[in-house]
Amino acid sequence: MEDSYKMVFAGGSGEIVVKKSRFIANVFSAENTAEAESKIEQIKKKYWDARHNCYAYVIKDDTVLKKCSDDGEPQGTAGRPILDVLCGEEIYNILVVVTRYFGGTLLGTGGLIRAYTDAAKEGIKASDIMKKHRAYRIRVSADYTFMGKIQYIAASHDIAVQDIIYGDKVEFVMLVKNGMLDKLTEMITSATSAAAGIENEAKVWYGCAGDGKIHVFER
C-alpha cells in the first residue's frame, strides 16, 4: 500500500436535474465490500420508489477492488461513468450511489453518461475528502529554550503537530511521514545540541479534515 491516499472522511450528497430526471448522489466511506453492499441496500430501501440506484465503489487493502452497476440503465451508461470519476479523483474506500427518478424524457447514451458523471462529481464536492498519510507518531521533549527552534523545524518541513504538552519540559507529539523520521531526528538533535529526547511511539495513519483538525487512525 502506498504511503498516502485519498479517502472519504465524511460523506455527503449532491443532486442534479436533467430534463426533469433527478439524479441524487450519496457518497460513503466503505472499508470493505460487505460494508459497501450493506450501504447500497440501505439506499435502495430509502429510495424504494426510484427507477434506478446505480453505484460504483473502490476498496483498497492489500489489493484494489472495483465494482460498478448500471442497475437497469443501458450498459456502460451509469456505473462505469461513476467509477471513472472515482478513479480519476484517485479516491479509495469510497462508495457512490446515484439514484435516478425518471423525468419522462429519454436522455440517450451520451446524456446518461454525462448525467451520472456530473451527479457523482456533485456528491464528491459535497463530501469531506481527506488525504491520509502513513506516519510515525513521535514524542519530542526539550527545555523551553528550544521550543521556537523545534516549532520552526516542524513548520518548515510540513510536520504535523498533534499536541503540545506543557510541563517541566515542553513535549511535542508529532506525526512524521514515512521517509522523514531520520532527517527530522537529525535536525532536532542538531538544533538542540542533542538535548532533546525523541521517542518513537507508534506507526499510524493521519489526515487533516476540512475543518483543519488532525485525525489519527490506527490503519
* 17: β partners: 22
Q: Say if residues 94 and 140 touch (Cβ distance below 8 Å).
A: no
Listed as ranges, residues in the chain with pLDDT below 50 are: none
For the CA atoms of 206, 209, 213, 216, the dihedral, rounded to the nearest 10 degrees, stands at -20
DSSP 185-197: HHHHHHHTTT-SE
The listed CATH number (3.40.1190.20, 3.30.420.240, 3.30.70.120, 3.10.20.30) that belongs to domain 132-217? 3.30.70.120
CA 59 and chain centroid, separation: 12
What's the confidence (pLDDT) of residue 209?
Answer: 85
Taking Cα atoms as reference points, which of 201, 219, 196, 128 lies closest to residue 162? 201
The listed CATH number (3.30.230.30, 3.20.10.10, 3.40.50.10310, 2.30.140.10) that belongs to domain 4-126? 3.30.230.30
What's the confidence (pLDDT) of residue 1?
Answer: 53
What's the confidence (pLDDT) of residue 63?
Answer: 83
Residue ranges covered by each domain of the chain: 4-126, 132-217
Q: Say if residues 176 and 207 touch (Cβ distance below 8 Å).
A: no
* 200: β partners: 138
